[in-house]
Amino acid sequence: MKYQLISLVSHGDERGSLISFEAGINCPFDVKRCFYIYDTKGGNVIRGAHANRRSKFLLVVINGSCRVKIDTGTKIDDVLLNNPMTALYLDKMVWKEMYEFSHNAVLMVLSNELYDETEYIRNYEEYKKEISGNR
């Protein structure tokens, strides 16, 4: 599965709500890195626009909304993330672009790898070349 929406279970009571991620249960990898994108500037901002040779990701919009364009090399899809109860899993070697951030959006991302710029493919033609070589 190159990408997948994962429904999360929220533990709510009269005090509020809580969602957890556990490796092998609702997160398909052991987490080594977490980062979040927030305070995005304006409606036309595009984040991502890269693929990763090793990193897998789990994306959750914990506040607000954004869209994610997903390109697996053979299929292009587009999903709206607008609630904290749905995570988007992206396998390695998936081209992704996050856009249409709402003004209050907070996009949290979990990954199986530490940050390493050398495993990022930021050129789409290079991505197409590598993904077709991998098949």
Our finding on whether 35 is near ligand TYD (CB under 6 A) is yes
Q: Based on CB atoms, which residue is closest to ligand TYD, 6 or 36?
A: 36
Q: Interacting stretch for ligand TYD, rule CB under 6 A, among 2-10, 29-37, 60-68, 71-79?
A: 29-37
Contact between 96 and 48 under an 8 Å Cβ cutoff? The reply is yes
Is 50 a residue of the active site? yes
Q: Based on CB atoms, which residue is closest to ligand TYD, 16 or 105?
A: 105
Give the tokens for residue 103. Answer: 């003004």
C-alpha dist (Å) from residue 90 to 8, 46, 97, 127: 16, 17, 12, 15
CB of residue 131 vs ligand TYD: minimum separation in angstroms?
Answer: 18
From 28, 70, 64, 30, select the one nearest 48 (Cα to Cα): 70
Instruction: Restricting to residues 105-134, name those near ligand TYD by CB under 6 A.
Output: 115
Is residue 100 left, alpha or beta, with left meaning phi > 0 and alpha meaning psi from -120 to 50? left
Tell me the catalytic residues.
50
Residues making contact with ligand TYD (CB under 6 A): 33, 35, 37, 47-48, 115
